[in-house]
Amino acid sequence: MKKILAAGAATALLVLAGCSSSDQSSGSSSSPSPTSGGVPTSTDLNVSAAASLKKTFTAIADAFERDNPGVTVKLSFDGSSTLVNQIKQGAPASVFASADEKNMTKLGDRAVDPKIFATNTLVIVTAPGNPKGIRSVADLNKADVTTVVCQSAQPCGNATDQVEKNTGTTIRAASEEQSVTAVLTKVTSGQADAGLVYVTDAKGAGDKVTTVVDPAFAAVVNKYPIATVRGGADEAVAKQFVDAVLGPAGQQILADAGFGKP
């Protein structure tokens, strides 16, 4: 059974000590199978992935486990910058999937042969029905609008910074979150009127949000790289998982979630 580890910065040390998260999912999934068997039994594979990949990588990992009996994929999701810091501090990771190339680069030569596997762009999400009438990035600064964004160190925050630069707008955010998931949660819970998240997060939220697209978003595209981590356990299994993400079925899972092609 795959274990999805809670990867918040406050609990990172506990995760490193081997505490299991209560956020678990079974290996049963109707998603297409991205790889075939041939992996040794009783293998734990630690995969650290950007928060925006939670749904898709859970589906890919489910299929990988089905096709490779005895393999347990342990998924850890958080902001890419946070994950890099955790890996550098000793967190177990054999595969790292980042929401941008910048944070993959920060891992240095520990990132083995990174490859782009998906792309993503920003959108604005609001409460259902868009009650504040937000139509553009500039509208996020309306006096009656509470806006949340990602921290600049995170890929979603770096993309937000670039959109601000391109549009000449400085968003007066009520808070800066450490992951795109945290931004989405603040909007869906009513703590914020609007937030900047990825297309895939907005699609995954369904009718819990209304999506607003500013033409400026098209010019800022996040490229998602994946790599095995040098020094990680079971390098052959890690490479097989990377191949699963890059393969036809893995790519279909990503496309169905709204990710763009590499």
Q: Binding site for molybdate, residues?
A: 52, 80, 180, 198
Query: How far apart are the two ends of the chain, measured CA to CA in Å?
Result: 30
Alpha carbons 140 and 120: distance in angstroms, whole number:
21
CA–CA distances in Å: residue 48 to residues 53, 79, 100, 192, 237: 10, 10, 14, 28, 15
Side by side, which strands form the sheet with 71-78?
A: 3-6, 71-78, 43-50, 95-97, 222-229, 111-120
β 71-78/43-50 pair status: parallel
Coil/strand/helix, residue 211 = strand
List, as residue ranges, the binding site. Answer: 52, 80, 180, 198
